[in-house]
């Protein structure tokens, strides 16, 4: 199976000022493209040649896992955003967040703390477990919750290439801006699936 670049559901400049066109051009256009290219080269002639990205994330290791998970993570990440982001979740997702974290504001504080507190590069995730309980996890490098049997709902990319052009070393400022472009309808669809 040959993996292709995902198509962005918005124009490269549509997320400004939270994420600039320059960052999208580099992050999506260069970094993600490199992961896709690397993955396609690495899987040739291996047990993963016809595997799905999910299977690669769950079963692979080494370079195949790193590139496959980065393709999956970035596709998931970029598809979470909308130029007309919703400021808060609603419906069953709102209820689940309130149950797990006490309030949306408390959830944001905990998610920001996980995102800022991750040493080095990686991802902060909101996922649900098999019982539907929400959990926040931090994953280094290309890690994601699929390997732990969780269902990912939301992620923040805290690799420097996700924010350095726009925010330099101010990771927290980037995270605060990203909340304004989250499409909570997409996150809720992932939750009720």
- Say how far apart CA 113 and CA 176 lie, in whole Å: 11
CATH number of 20-193: 3.55.40.20
- Say how far apart CA 87 and CA 103 lie, in whole Å: 14
Q: pLDDT 10s digit of each residue in the chain, 193 long?
A: 699 999 999 999 999 999 999 999 999 999 999 999 999 999 999 999 999 999 999 999 999 999 999 999 999 999 999 998 777 899 999 999 999 999 999 999 999 999 999 999 999 999 999 999 999 999 999 999 999 999 999 999 999 999 999 999 999 999 999 999 999 999 999 999 8
The helix/strand/coil state of 135 is: strand
Q: Domain ranges in the chain?
A: 20-193
pLDDT at 84: 86
Q: What are phi and psi of 12, to 5 degrees?
A: -60, -25
């Amino acid at each position: 199976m040959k993996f292709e670049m995902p198509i962005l559901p918005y124009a490269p400049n549509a997320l400004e000022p939270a994420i600039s066109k320059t960052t999208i051009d580099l992050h999506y256009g260069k970094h993600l493209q490199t992961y896709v290219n690397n993955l396609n080269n690495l899987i040739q002639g291996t047990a993963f040649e016809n595997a799905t990205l999910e299977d690669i994330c769950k079963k692979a290791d080494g370079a195949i896992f790193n590139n496959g998970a980065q393709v999956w993570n970035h596709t998931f990440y970029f598809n979470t955003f909308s130029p007309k982001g919703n400021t808060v979740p609603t419906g069953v997702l709102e209820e689940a967040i309130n149950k797990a974290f006490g309030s949306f504001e408390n959830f944001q504080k905990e998610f920001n703390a996980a995102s800022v507190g991750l040493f080095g590069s990686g991802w902060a995730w909101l996922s649900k477990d098999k019982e539907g309980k929400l959990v926040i996890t931090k994953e280094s490098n290309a890690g994601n919750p699929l390997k732990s049997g969780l269902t990912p709902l939301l992620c923040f990319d805290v690799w420097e290439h996700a924010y350095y052009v726009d925010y330099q070393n101010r990771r927290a400022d980037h995270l605060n801006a990203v909340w304004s472009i989250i499409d909570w309808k997409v996150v809720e669809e992932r939750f009720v699936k």
